[in-house]
Structure 1
């Protein structure tokens, strides 16, 4: 999950030139939003061991999708990563279920 947050932060920061040249341009508010979101993602990568990290990740993803109000391309990246996060949560749940059922190769007798 930490790696996904770092990759998403890189993509968000790479959206700065796109927002600056296409559409209405880069305003101080949009710059603070984009850079702030990327910084929160990078900080979140170091917080993945905490019990509340999943909710932090979901909150960041909601903020990434809400970036549609800054630029549609940024919101589209948020939707793309929302699909990635949905898949990560699916895999996490599936792994927990397999652990509980004792189906992992290391758990077999």
Structure 2
């Protein structure tokens, strides 16, 4: 099944992807609190890595309008899942976000034909372009 207006569907799916990325960035910002109370604690390297990941996820949300934005965001799902190494609860949280991301890519594939390719604008039919002769 493809969307009747692929450009509009792609725009809506980009918005959904941006929203998911912002939520992921916010979730990563909660991790330092959990790390500080367990194991070796919150080191400077761990805090820096988590802050960089949170900023990258939020910046990737802004990149969703660009052609490579979806690829960048998909690549950032791996370090998000790796935050489970720092705090075991993040295996679950990042896993849920990863499943949502995969579902979004599946919807893109169904509606647009490909999860990463941008749709071509649809050609107007003779009735839509205002030509009375058609």
For the aligned pair, the TM-score class normalised by the smaller chain equals 0.7 to 0.9
Structure 1 residue 23: Cα displacement = 2.7
* Alignment partner of 1:4 is 2:20: yes
Q: Partner of 2:9 in structure 1?
A: none
Distance 2:91 2:28 in 1: 10
* Alignment partner of 1:51 is 2:67: yes
Q: Partner of 2:131 in structure 1?
A: none
Residue-pair matches, total: 98
Map residues 14-93 of structure 1 onto 2, 5 A cutoff.
Answer: 14-93=30-109
Larger Rg computed on CA atoms? 2
| Aligned-residue CA RMSD (Å) | 1.6
Structure 1 residue 90: Cα displacement = 0.9
Where does structure 1 lack aligned partners over 5 or more consecutive residues? 100-109
Runs of 4+ aligned structure 1 residues displaced above 3 Å come to: none
Structure richer in helix, relative to its length:
1
Deviates more, 1:79-88 or 1:66-75: 66-75
Kindly indicate whether structure 1 or structure 2 has the higher relative contact order, using CA contacts under 8 Å at least 6 residues apart. 2
Distance 2:59 2:66 in 1: 12
